[in-house]
Amino acid sequence: MSSAAAALAGTGVAGLHVHANLTAAGLVAHALRRGEGRLSADGAFMAVTGQHTGRSVQDKFVVDDPEVHDAVWWGKVNRPLPVAKFQNLSKKVRAWLGQKPELFTQDLYAGADPAHRIRVRLVTTNAWHALFARNMFIRPPRAELEDFRPDYTILHAPEYEASPEEDGCRTSTCIALSFAARTILIAGTSYAGEIKKSIFTVMNWILPERGVLPMHCSANIGRSGDTALFFGLSGTGKTTLSSDPERSLIGDDEHGWSTDGVFNFEGGCYAKVIKLSREAEPQIWDASHRFGAVLENVIADEHGVLDLADNNLTENTRSCYPIEFIPNTQAGGRAGLPRNVVMLTADAFGVLPPIAKLTPAQAMYHFLSGYTARVAGTEKGLGKEPQATFSTCFGAPFLPRHPEVYGRMLQERIAQDGAQVWLVNTGWTGGAYGTGQRMSIAHTRALLRAALDGSLAKVEFTRDPFFGLMIPKAVPGIPANVLNPRESWGDKAAYDRQARHLVSLFEGNFESFAGAVDDAVRAVAIRAAA
């Protein structure tokens, strides 16, 4: 078997010239040769993704294979694609890839726990996309690459334009996942986040059958061995808050929670860097200003000096780097059972407290609610301002199974392992978006530090009348008007109106999953006063 044939084995692609499993240096050299981007002054590779600067949510499909039909959560998240349409499109994409003068492949693992990992083979037309995947996933030792056989294949064709009439898709962009064929097609978009999120969806499909809860969360571990999880959508501070100099990072985005503990799905980080501050986030800053990092849609001057405040291309500017670029990481990407679970929200209405302690039933409720504010630019067509939204399990776009599957598993894990759960608002205070101000990172870090070291659980709490949340009365170093959001508003009547409005939104959203939860969860559901 030729080297090209070996590199493409199991993919169905017949390429002539394949760059297989190149290192970062080799991939950057090819990317520069091919004109795929340029280097920053600090050596990071800079790529521009063109029309697509975020995920194309409406162009994602799951193939309606008969063997998985009954288990898939069909709807806006998982749009069905007929098997015949997928087979025809995959045939065309494979032929298109095979005609390219050169291809790049990477053989990688998803899942730090050997008992639950999958082997992934990426085939792409661009060196920088191969570097992105190499940064994001786990790089096998050289010896394990010799007999590598992929469990899943990603056929990455960013320049290929699908045909809505022929292929059953909505536009020329198509992200299609077949669990039966164990194949992912990504066509018509250069946004690299589609690569990582497609594999997250696969892990969300595979792991529940193994008794493992897959989670869209970051995780870190303290010096005493205490593991903490951080749930939250993009822009809520998940990456920022888990990158704590006093704690070791396990991973910044995707994890599994098994009976043995927590493990990272990835080998890298994908941080949002718009308006990134060196002072507030030194670890992410340093990781983004060095060779080996990949920067998406970040602006720089003619000398390559970055301007992280420039949002001319998108608010969703990104930095992708291997996790070892963060100085204090957990070796092996694995840790023990979680002691604390943090659910992050960016409340655009400015009415939720900066931190609240949740009961197990409230934890289940807020996990299924997944309330936050979608941050501008994270998804194509979102607009310039944050929008209140509910994303089930803090990761609805990546859930192939029904949400209650993951909700029940979380409830069971919290009960079995005794984790304390916190709801943290990293959004607005003193007013809604546009009139109030964003919650201080320093205040959030101080509150989290108290929660994770156990001291916050010992203070006196008071019950919020609108949302039923237990709010600490006093925390050293935190102003009292910050802890109680109503007190941070100059106009108390305006706060009450906004709070009642958000209550109504929670109440309406609860209707979608009320029948899938037990009486304890229904009893703590947020609802308007009778």
Domain positions in the chain are 3-20+56-190, 224-238+337-523
Q: State pLDDT tens for residues 3-22.
A: 889 999 999 999 989 999 99
- The gap from C-alpha 113 to its chain's centroid, in whole angstroms, comes to 19
Q: CA–CA distance from 498 to each of 50, 347, 453 (Å)? A: 38, 11, 33
C-alpha 503/C-alpha 349 separation (Å) is: 11
Is 335:259 a contact under the CB 8 Å cutoff?
Answer: no
Relative orientation angle of helices 360-369 and 492-510, to the nearest 10 degrees:
80
| Structure confidence at residue 243 as a pLDDT band (50, 70, 90) | confident
Would the pLDDT of 464 be above 80? yes
Query: Please, is 55 exposed, middle or buried when counting C-beta atoms within 10 Å of its C-beta (0-12, 13-18, 19+)?
Result: buried
Relative orientation angle of helices 403-417 and 360-369, to the nearest 10 degrees:
150
Q: State pLDDT tens for residues 369-396.
A: 999 866 454 445 545 555 778 999 998 9
Would the pLDDT of 127 be above 50? yes
Strand positions, DSSP E, 243-367: 248-251, 254-258, 261-264, 268-272, 294-296, 299-300, 306-307, 318-322, 334-335, 338-345, 355-358
Is 252:270 a contact under the CB 8 Å cutoff?
Answer: yes
C-alpha 245/C-alpha 110 separation (Å) is: 26
pLDDT (0 to 100) of residue 244:
85
Hey, what CATH class is 224-238+337-523 in? Answer: alpha beta
What secondary structure letter does DSSP report for 477?
Answer: T
pTM over 0.85: yes
- Catalytic machinery residues: 55, 197, 216, 234, 238-239, 253, 318
C-alpha 104/C-alpha 139 separation (Å) is: 15
pLDDT (0 to 100) of residue 88:
97
What does the chain come to in residues?
Answer: 530
CATH of domain 3-20+56-190: 3.40.449.10
Q: Please report the DSSP string for 79-148 in residue order.
A: EEE-HHHHHHHHHHHHHHHHTSS-EEEEEEEE-SSTTT-EEEEEEES-HHHHHHHHHHSB---HHHHTT-
